Structure 1
């Protein structure tokens, strides 16, 4: 969805042409993947950091276009709502010191945006959902004036055929109705991209799926929405319910959602995920290009596969396959479940732990998959998002037969730390990097703290002697001060 779309009225012929082009794209992708040399290369890591723009009163600043215009920086990009923007980090080699490089660039990105907001006394804030948002902050007036966002809203409205209705349980349940998708824009994430060789795609993807519930619990940083205390990672249900276009009957028949954890373990490779996207989900933005895919492949050139990339950009699994024609053509796995914040060092620690654990486990997935039904893994994911570090997951005990055991997510994370260390070493990560970032995770586990838990505790502390809204504001202001120091949340007061 990063490309510009100049119209939002489509005919039946447009959809028919687009569907045929999707099939052509799939054929082209299959031809590329049949070449054993395609996508072979060293692992690399990239990320997209989404940020809130907030003023000194911890309220959203609707200035994303102004910030980009003032800075002129080509790695900044517009987001759905005017009070959010995105910074696209430069990809780095997984070997050496990738995490320090990514952390430094994240800190630079925040500083860059802060410079553009100095006149307004505003700052860029990495946080999953800004707790001080109010209902009036949403609506078409809040949407970034970009035709692709209006086209997406119109397409999803047509798909749903009704208002966007949201119901999220928690200590203080919330029900919302909206005519547009701007409520989804409350979510800010830190999306990680990991380049993998096609021959290892299935094992690596499955390993990342396996550890994602643990990472979500560890990194949870979105406990409030419109003043309501909800899930530890409220982004997960908010995004799903805002985008999910299924009717009640479709849900009853277990038809797949456009926002989901997935439909099963990957059996062979990336192709099946792309084919699943084409076969299971109807197109909503049928923009047809003129690329001559087969001719390009015959000439040894990489097709862009615009239709496939656009279509998969309108489906939002929490981990997904990405095809990219750049750098000789390659495959990536995009992790979309991690929230923004609390600090660059925290976000990079989450990334190091996730990629290290997945790398360390990929050779064991043949043993793990029969021990954990995919439906149980998906249930773990949502439970981890709801309960955070307090979650108990159903987890396989690989030391002996006998099925699944209920185990605390903290215990599971402790057990995965040596595996993550081994995986990072296999990637060629410098030992000082390994110790630093896994040390951040270990300290977080020792203190049973996450961004979500810190927010909840600080809110309760601020609530003594002042109103709920004043307590939320004071809490966010403390969060801003601590986040600016770039020290791990486990070391915050």
Structure 2
């Protein structure tokens, strides 16, 4: 999705040739993975941080083009809506203190973006869903005028009626009519990338699927949308339904483009790319004219572009630089760089631990149970009922997330240290998760508590503005969210 697209129109011949190239590319990918030395690289980790731009009064600031131009940094790119930006962090080796490096770069980029945004009367906010958004902010006019987003919009519009309905559950359920993928601009995430050796991909990917649900329960930061109290991670159903292709946790749609998946992986990374080609038609048939240099790995531009229009929560990435990786897409943006580093450490550590166990992660539980964990965690956070493999295989143990997570933190520590992460760094970050769980305060819980406190003194619209102001100020302090006080009206601004 990082590819900008200049071509305005496509012919049926473009689609036919693109589909033909996809079939060929899957075979080329399979051959590429067998090239001696492919994937023989140090394990590295990277991340993408999405954020909102907001005016001081809480309104979204549709200024992403101006702010991006003023920052003048290629790591800062436009996102779906005019009030969204993304910062692409530099990959670092997993050994040593990678999360410190990611935090340092995150803080530096946020500072640069903040300086540029302030010149336009705005500032960045790292949060899963911006509480002050209104339905009027999410119509087609909000879409960033960038080739790739416009092309996806047109392609999906041909496949569905408009408006289409999104059904979101929770304490105050709602139905939202949408006329555009601009509704996706209401979601901001913290996407973590892990380079994986091809031979270990199946095991590691399945471990990631198993780990994502419990970790998400500790990371919720998206409980409010259009003034309603919904899921702890409302991003999950909102994103799955936001393309208008019938996606959603009910599983009623045969092949939604955004989903957790439908089975354990059993054929390596090639299987995931082949499934994407088989199950999803082409949206943007941009034909590549690049030829790889002699002895270099193929670009596979068409296959990479197509995979970029299939939004599984854990997504495979082929890099022609010589590796494959997993893109972990489920974590929300924010609240602070420390909170995000802790979330990433927990997710990667638990994934690495599970991948290195003697038994294949597929044997730990039925896939439907892992998928159920994911949606229950998104809905209920620390109060979610989750299942986990017990010592008495194949029995599953059920418990509240708040009881399960302390048992998983030492496993994550083992996974990190075993991969070469500095033990002190791993311990400090996982201690943040432990304190968050013990205190019962994720970013989502803080927002809910803040809204309740502020609504005792004012109306909801004002409370949402004050809440967002307090959130922004506390996030700027750098203090992890489990230490944040609940605001009063005066403290909220």
> TM-score, with normalisation over the residues of structure 2?
0.95
Q: Distance in 2 between matches of 1:434 and 1:111?
A: 25
Mapped pair 1:458 → 2:450:
yes
Whether the 8 Å CA contact 2:203–2:361 is kept in 1: the answer is no
Q: Distance in 2 between matches of 1:349 and 1:319?
A: 18
Kindly state the Cα deviation for residue 480 of structure 1 after the two structures are TM-superposed: 0.7
Change (3 A) 1:218 1:251: closer
Q: Distance in 2 between matches of 1:151 and 1:402?
A: 47
Show CA shifts across 1:417-472 (max 9, x none). 11111111111111221121011111111111100000000110011121100111
Change (3 A) 1:365 1:444: farther
Superposed, which structure 2 residues align to 1:279-358 within 5 Å? 279-292=278-291, 299-326=294-321, 329-358=322-351
> Which residue number in structure 1 is paired with residue 256 of structure 2?
257
Kindly state the Cα deviation for residue 73 of structure 1 after the two structures are TM-superposed: 1.0
Whether the 8 Å CA contact 2:190–2:331 is kept in 1: the answer is yes
> Which residue number in structure 1 is paired with residue 265 of structure 2?
266
Instruction: Name whichever of 159-168 and 330-339 sits farther off.
Output: 159-168
Query: In structure 1, which of residues 415, 422, 429 is the aligned counterpart of residue 421 of structure 2?
Result: 429
Q: Distance in 2 between matches of 1:232 and 1:288?
A: 41
Instruction: Name whichever of 65-74 and 363-372 sits farther off.
Output: 363-372
Superposed, which structure 2 residues align to 1:64-75 within 5 Å? 64-75=64-75
> Which residue number in structure 1 is paired with residue 54 of structure 2?
54
Whether the 8 Å CA contact 1:244–1:257 is kept in 2: the answer is no
SS of 2:356 mapped into structure 1: helix
Higher helix fraction (1 or 2): 1
Count of residue pairs the alignment pairs up: 484
Whether the 8 Å CA contact 2:64–2:85 is kept in 1: the answer is yes
SS of 1:353 mapped into structure 2: helix
Whether the 8 Å CA contact 1:206–1:266 is kept in 2: the answer is yes
Change (3 A) 1:159 1:342: same
Whether the 8 Å CA contact 1:159–1:245 is kept in 2: the answer is yes
> Which residue number in structure 1 is paired with residue 198 of structure 2?
198
Whether the 8 Å CA contact 2:291–2:299 is kept in 1: the answer is no
Change (3 A) 1:251 1:486: closer
Superposed, which structure 2 residues align to 1:240-251 within 5 Å? 240-246=240-246
Change (3 A) 1:227 1:85: same
Show CA shifts across 1:238-276 (max 9, x none). 01111251499x965x62211110121112411111111
Superposed, which structure 2 residues align to 1:137-156 within 5 Å? 137-156=137-156
> TM-score, with normalisation over the residues of structure 1?
0.95
Q: Distance in 2 between matches of 1:287 and 1:236?
A: 29
> Which residue number in structure 2 is paired with residue 477 of structure 1?
469
SS of 2:206 mapped into structure 1: helix
Q: Distance in 1 between matches of 2:101 and 2:366?
A: 37
Mapped pair 1:218 → 2:215:
no
Whether the 8 Å CA contact 1:128–1:341 is kept in 2: the answer is yes
> Which residue number in structure 2 is paired with residue 116 of structure 1?
116
Whether the 8 Å CA contact 1:203–1:365 is kept in 2: the answer is no
Whether the 8 Å CA contact 1:371–1:403 is kept in 2: the answer is no
Query: In structure 2, which of residues 359, 364, 379 is the aligned counterpart of residue 366 of structure 1?
Result: 359
Q: Distance in 1 between matches of 2:288 and 2:372?
A: 39
Mapped pair 1:382 → 2:375:
yes
Q: Distance in 1 between matches of 2:274 and 2:154?
A: 25
Whether the 8 Å CA contact 2:207–2:361 is kept in 1: the answer is no
| Residue ranges of structure 2 left out of the alignment (5+ in a row) | 486-493
Q: Distance in 2 between matches of 1:352 and 1:214?
A: 13
Instruction: Name whichever of 129-138 and 408-417 sits farther off.
Output: 408-417
Q: Distance in 1 between matches of 2:247 and 2:299?
A: 34
| Residue ranges of structure 1 left out of the alignment (5+ in a row) | none
How large is the RMSD of aligned CA atoms in angstroms? Answer: 1.7
Change (3 A) 1:422 1:433: same
Kindly state the Cα deviation for residue 363 of structure 1 after the two structures are TM-superposed: 2.2
Whether the 8 Å CA contact 1:221–1:339 is kept in 2: the answer is yes
Q: Distance in 1 between matches of 2:254 and 2:225?
A: 28
> Which residue number in structure 1 is paired with residue 172 of structure 2?
172
Kindly state the Cα deviation for residue 121 of structure 1 after the two structures are TM-superposed: 3.9
Kindly state the Cα deviation for residue 100 of structure 1 after the two structures are TM-superposed: 0.6
Instruction: Name whichever of 304-313 and 357-366 sits farther off.
Output: 357-366
Q: Distance in 1 between matches of 2:46 and 2:358?
A: 24
